[in-house]
Amino acid sequence: MSNSTDKNQHDLVIIGAGPAALTAAIYTTREDIETVIYERGVIGGLAAVTDVIDNYPGFSDGVKGLDLAEDLRKQAERFGAKIELGEIKSIKDEGEFKRLTNEIGEDLLARSVLIATGSDYNRTGIAGEDKYYARGVHFCATCDGAFYRDKRLVVIGGGNSAVQETIFLTRFASHIDLLVRSNLKASDILIKELQPFIDSGKVTLNLGVTPKEIVGDDNGVNKVIGTLSDGKDKDFPTDGVFVFIGLKPNTQFLKDTSIKLNPQGFIITDSNLETSMPNVFAAGDVRSGATMQIASASGEGATAALKIRECLEGRLHSNEVKQLEVMP
Amino acid sequence: MVKNITIFTTNTCGYCQMVKTYLKAKGMGYDEVNLDQTPARREEAHRLSGALTVPVTVVTKTDDSQEVIVGYNLAKLVPAVS
């Protein structure tokens, strides 16, 4: 299908290179839709910085996140996807083409765009978090866990990521205090995997603890102060803190565009995964209503690719009344 | 001018992979210090970067001055190696 003649003019630009983006690229490039992917961070997204992914279909023993990301990249590149390491800073609707501007001010023209920028981990916003960032406060266990061999750690969070990364960090740490504001919200299977570490005393599960402050000195972090459900404060001595308290969408670059976001900043799409800007689609964790699962992101990437093909062939908007879906 | 580049990494670090991918794409060689295989050098990475994280990329120039880049940060890495 490729109609692109100018080097800065493309059939499809995909923003992001996580599972949704790479799956979409596998589909579009196999259909000869010329596809360029822009990634500002890690190819594979959050999946690439996850130790082991146990619930992605087809891997009976699980798969290392880095390995899955690498295989997705190779598969997309095998069919001709081009990956650029850089950041798209803005997107403008100019009718047939969308004008995208990257971090060094270069413009790209795209007949269609897929936004698959995913999400990043939220921050707690408590005192000490910024001050000790990367010097005792961390958001990537697979990157930084090795610095805490035989040290005490605090993990903040109670969802799947917090529990999974706590299990990963047990290979390094002498002890982990897991601080959970209410109750564990992780899947049953992850909680079961965590239980032996609780039973052995390697992990202490602290429910009903709201982190208040991260305290340290010139040598780094030495404790987290948490507020218990009775309102009293308690010290949790530690050498480091890992934070996994939910996700925020990577949509800051869209705030001055006509692309509609929900109140949390996730992109609103219609049932074709198309946004409020024609021929611009969204898939994966960045989309309002996303389930934050790698398998779902891949599925949405495939769906978006097929809809983009219809869009480029002029078939998508023929008989439709566009209705955006606002999900919680 | 760049004389040599050393990257401190770990086995499971996705951002380390990205630094290596970027340098390979630019045709630049580097030495890798894998801290999982040589944990004794963790302190060296910490001393150079002031941080408890990887990747730490140390770019040594021909005048032996050094630039240390913490994390996968293209805004700092690109000018440091160009």
CATH, residue B44: 3.40.30.10
Q: What is the residue type of A209? A: V
0.95 surpassed by pTM: no
- pLDDT reported for residue A232: 97
Within an 8 Å CB–CB cutoff, is residue A88 touching chain B?
Answer: no
pLDDT of A180 > 80? The answer is yes
**The predicted structure's pLDDT at residue B75:** 85
CB B80 within 8 A of CB B65: no
Q: What is the pLDDT of residue A7?
A: 73
Q: A313 CB contacts (<8 Å, ≥6 apart)?
A: A1
pLDDT band at B56 (very low <50, low <70, confident <90, very high): very high
Placement of tokens 């790209």 in the chain: A108
Question: Is the backbone peptide bond immediately before B55 cis, with ω within 30 degrees of 0?
Answer: yes
Query: How many Å lie between the alpha carbon of B60 and the closest alpha carbon of chain A?
Result: 23
Long-range CB contacts (within 8 A, 24+) of A67-72: A68/A19, A68/A44, A68/A294, A69/A22, A69/A42, A69/A43, A69/A44, A69/A45, A69/B14, A70/A43, A70/A44, A70/B17, A72/A19, A72/A22, A72/A23, A72/A26, A72/A44
Instruction: Please compute the mean of the pLDDT values over residues B22-27 and round it to a whole number.
Output: 91
pLDDT confidence of B3, banded at 50, 70, 90? very high
- Amino acid (one-letter) located at A39: E
Q: Are strands A247-249 and A280-282 parallel, antiparallel or unpaired?
A: unpaired
Is residue A300 within 8 A of residue A101, CB to CB? The reply is no
Mean pLDDT of the A41-62 span: 91
Distances, alpha carbon B13 to alpha carbons A127, A170, A226, A321, B21, in Å? 27, 17, 30, 46, 13
- Domains in chain A (CATH in brackets) are 9-121+247-312 (3.50.50.60), 137-243 (3.50.50.60)
User: Mean pLDDT score of chain A, rounded to an integer?
Assistant: 93
pLDDT above 70 as % of chain B: 100
- Contact criterion met (CB below 8 Å) for A109 and A117: no
CA A153-A159-A162 angle, to 5 degrees, is 25
A230 phi/psi in degrees, rounded to 5: -90, 5
pLDDT level of residue A246 (50, 70, 90 thresholds): confident
* Dist. CA A76–CA A82, nearest whole Å: 8
> Mean pLDDT across the stretch A129-156?
93
> Residue A289: pLDDT above 70?
yes
Q: What would the mean pLDDT of A42-51 be, rounded to a whole number?
A: 89
A49–B50 CB contact, under 8 Å: no
Cα–Cα distance measured from residue A144 to residue B53, given in angstroms and rounded to the nearest whole number: 5
User: Does the pLDDT at position A101 exceed 80?
Assistant: yes
Closest to B67 (Cα-Cα) out of A110, B52, A134, B82: B82
Mutation target to probe the A interface, by most A beta carbons within 10 A, among B28, B38, B53 is: B53
Contact yes or no for B17 and A48 at CB 8 A: yes
* Residue % of chain A over a pLDDT of 90: 84
Structure confidence at residue A143 as a pLDDT band (50, 70, 90): confident
With the C-alpha atoms ordered A48, A53, A55, A56, is the resulting torsion angle positive or negative?
positive
Shortest distance between the Cα of A49 and any Cα of chain B, in A, equals 5
- Residue A326 clears pLDDT 80, i.e. is over it: no
Tell me the residue range of the domain where B46 lies. 2-81
Residue A5 has pLDDT above 80, yes or no: no
Residues of A in contact with B16 (CB under 8 A): 143
Q: Choose the weakest-confidence range: A3-7, A79-83, A121-125, A160-164.
A: A3-7
Report the distance separating Cα A145 and Cα A153, nearest Å.
10
pLDDT averaged over chain B? Answer: 93
Q: CB distance from B42 to chain A under 8 Å?
A: yes
Binned at pLDDT 50, 70 and 90, residue A258 comes out as: very high
Q: Which residue has the tokens 């801290």?
A: B35
Residue A320's pLDDT band (cuts 50, 70, 90): low
Mean pLDDT for A157-184 is 96
Q: Between A5 and A213, whose confidence is greater?
A: A213
Of B39, B52, B71, the CB nearest to A135: B52
Alpha helices in chain B (DSSP H): 14-25, 42-49, 74-81
Rounded mean pLDDT, A283-307: 96
Is the pLDDT at A324 greater than 90? The verdict is: no
Q: Using an 8 Å CB-CB cutoff, list chain A residues near B10.
A: 142-143, 145-146
**What is the bridge-based pairing of β-strands A63-64 and A97-102?**
unpaired
Question: In this complex, do A135 and B51 lie within 8 Å of one another by their Cβ atoms?
Answer: yes
Whether the CB of A67 is below 8 Å from some CB of chain B: the reply is no
Number of folded domains that form chain B: 1
pLDDT (0 to 100) of residue A243:
97
Token digits of residue A15: 């923003």
The pLDDT value recorded for residue A318 is 55
pLDDT at A219: 87
